[in-house]
């Protein structure tokens, strides 16, 4: 049986599985975690520790139809200004509970469109953050940039504030595809913005591109990748478009009959993957590519690659605190999510309390299973010795878990005395294999295609 037939037999082209940016995944968060628990977790962070901070700006001037993120449209600056004022209060609230000397290993602004903040709001927000938690030496300050919603003044403000990594959304350069997904953005504009970013001394540039979009063909994605390569991003995320119109109403604007089949999606991915590899990028995890000198590639070589809500990361901080509506925080003790509605989140902050409305406290074998899944997603390999040493795993139970996966996936997995490995030809199955170690019921959750 050839690899394509084996992938089909194992359900790759039919399954919907989590992306495993967390374990357990967000659909399994529950109301049992609230502001008091969240506050206790913050106060447990040791003095002089290093943390990460994510700030969510939910506003967009336009709502791209393909996007399923938590966003809201606005044509006025008034709600943006009010939101920035709320973030300032939220940062002050955080200050009250942080131990002395805590620094930032990573600061990321996402959305939505954080670059619709006016220059003075950008400067103020950065100053407010760094006044509470200064950026550590070697720390990273990254911002998601919409080329349609950026100008010289705002880039000047971000560069002056210390932004040293920028992430631009590309999706696809084909005009017909852009029109169909509600995201028109020319190559010329994207290149101009990339040049403006580099002209300001920002050393690192990320780019996101999607496969599986309506009307996408191998020739079309190859053309888009070829154009993207002329920008020479340091890091690329090649994400599969998740068509979930039952979850994101705006995706109902996209004709489902123009979406590539799962088999075509795999071919699109392989076309793009080969082009990135041929251009000298290192493959990182299941869907990222990085120049050999980029932190992600270095982390992968060292076995230090990790997974979080932004995808793959080289961040070593054990606490990631999310500020803003819908943001998710991760601590050694569990997950906590802010209220999704901007109004509810703002109300809580103005009342002097965090807006946490759900989360998860780690228990049982959560951390063991989380590490197995993360190791598979990052390294395509799980070490028995690490799981026994770091998580106190019972060797007998571990063997049973591994054997169960091998029984289902056969020679698409390699099991030996050292551990469990996903061979290169089976890597399209990685998320499916990871699900074999997921103890939570996904019957009620709606996930994206496995490929």
Q: Can you say which residues are annotated as belonging to the binding site? A: 54, 60, 64, 66-68, 111-113, 144, 171, 183, 208, 242, 328
| Cis status, amide bond into 112, omega within 30 of 0 | yes
Residue 197 structure tokens = 């970013």
Annotated binding-site positions for [4Fe-4S] cluster: 60, 64, 67
Name the CA dihedral angle for 95, 99, 103, 107, rounded to a multiple of 10 degrees.
-40
Annotated binding-site positions for S-adenosyl-L-methionine: 54, 66-68, 111-113, 144, 171, 183, 208, 242, 328
Contacts of 272 (CB under 8 A, 6+ apart): 209, 211, 221, 222, 225, 238
By three-state DSSP, how is residue 161 classified? helix
Strands (E), 2-88: 16-17, 50-57, 59-60, 72-73
Name the CA dihedral angle for 219, 220, 225, 227, rounded to a multiple of 10 degrees.
110
* DSSP string for 72-139: EE-S-SHHHHHHHHHHHHHHHHHHHHSPTT-EEEEEEEEES-GGGS-HHHHHHHHHHHHHHSPEEEEE
User: Cα(152)–Cα(199) distance, rounded to whole angstroms?
Assistant: 11
Residue 404 structure tokens = 């169960």
Q: Do residues 34 and 357 lie in contact, with contact meaning Cβ atoms separated by under 8 Å?
A: yes
Q: What DSSP state is assigned to residue 10?
A: T
For strands 72-73 and 59-60, give the pairing: parallel
By three-state DSSP, how is residue 429 classified? helix
For strands 381-383 and 419-421, give the pairing: antiparallel
HSE-CB of 75 using CA atoms within 13 angstroms: 0
Four-residue CA torsion sign, 145, 150, 152, 154 = negative
Residue 99 structure tokens = 């131990």
Residue 4 structure tokens = 């394509």
Q: Do residues 360 and 367 lie in contact, with contact meaning Cβ atoms separated by under 8 Å?
A: no
């Amino acid at each position: 049986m050839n690899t394509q037939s084996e992938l089909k037999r194992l359900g790759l082209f039919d399954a919907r599985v989590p992306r495993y940016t967390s374990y357990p995944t967000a659909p399994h968060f529950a109301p049992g975690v609230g502001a008091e628990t969240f506050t206790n977790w913050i106060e447990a962070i040791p003095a002089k520790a290093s943390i990460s901070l994510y700030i969510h700006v939910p506003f967009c001037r336009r709502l791209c139809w393909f996007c399923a993120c938590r966003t809201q449209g606005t044509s006025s600056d008034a709600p943006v200004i009010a939101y920035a004022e709320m973030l300032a209060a939220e940062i002050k609230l955080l200050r009250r509970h942080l131990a002395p000397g805590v620094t930032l290993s990573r600061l990321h602004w996402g959305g939505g469109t954080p670059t619709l903040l006016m220059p003075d709001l950008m400067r103020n927000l950065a100053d407010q953050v760094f006044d509470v938690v200064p950026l550590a030496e070697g720390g990273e300050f990254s911002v998601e940039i919409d080329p349609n919603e950026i100008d010289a003044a705002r880039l000047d403000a971000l560069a002056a504030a210390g932004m040293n990594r920028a992430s631009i959304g590309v999706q696809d350069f084909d005009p017909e595809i852009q029109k169909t997904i509600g995201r028109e953005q020319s190559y010329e504009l994207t290149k101009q913005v990339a040049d403006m970013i580099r002209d300001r001394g920002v050393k690192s540039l990320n780019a996101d591109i999607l496969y599986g979009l309506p009307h996408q063909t191998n020739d079309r994605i190859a053309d888009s990748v070829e154009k993207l390569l002329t920008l020479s991003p340091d890091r690329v995320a090649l994400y599969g478009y998740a068509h979930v119109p039952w979850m994101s109403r705006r995706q109902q604007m996209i004709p489902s009959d123009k979406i590539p089949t799962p088999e075509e999606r795999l071919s699109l991915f392989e076309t793009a993957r080969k082009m990135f590899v041929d251009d000298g990028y290192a493959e990182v995890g299941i869907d990222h590519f990085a120049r050999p000198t980029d932190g992600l590639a270095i982390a992968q070589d060292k076995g230090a690659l990790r997974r979080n809500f932004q995808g793959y990361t080289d961040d070593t901080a054990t606490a990631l605190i999310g500020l803003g509506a819908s943001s998710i925080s991760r601590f050694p003790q569990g997950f906590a999510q802010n209220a999704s509605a901007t109004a509810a989140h703002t109300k809580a902050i103005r009342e002097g309390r965090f807006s946490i409305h759900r989360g998860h406290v780690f228990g049982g074998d959560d951390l063991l299973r989380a590490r197995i899944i993360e190791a598979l997603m990052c390294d395509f390999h799980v070490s028995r010795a690490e799981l026994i040493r770091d998580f106190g795993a019972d060797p007998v139970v571990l063997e049973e878990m591994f054997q169960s996966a091998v029984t289902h996936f056969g020679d698409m997995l390699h099991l030996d005395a050292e551990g469990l490995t996903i061979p290169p030809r089976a890597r399209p199955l990685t998320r499916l294999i990871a699900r074999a170690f997921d103890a939570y019921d996904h019957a009620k959750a709606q996930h994206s295609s496995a490929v």
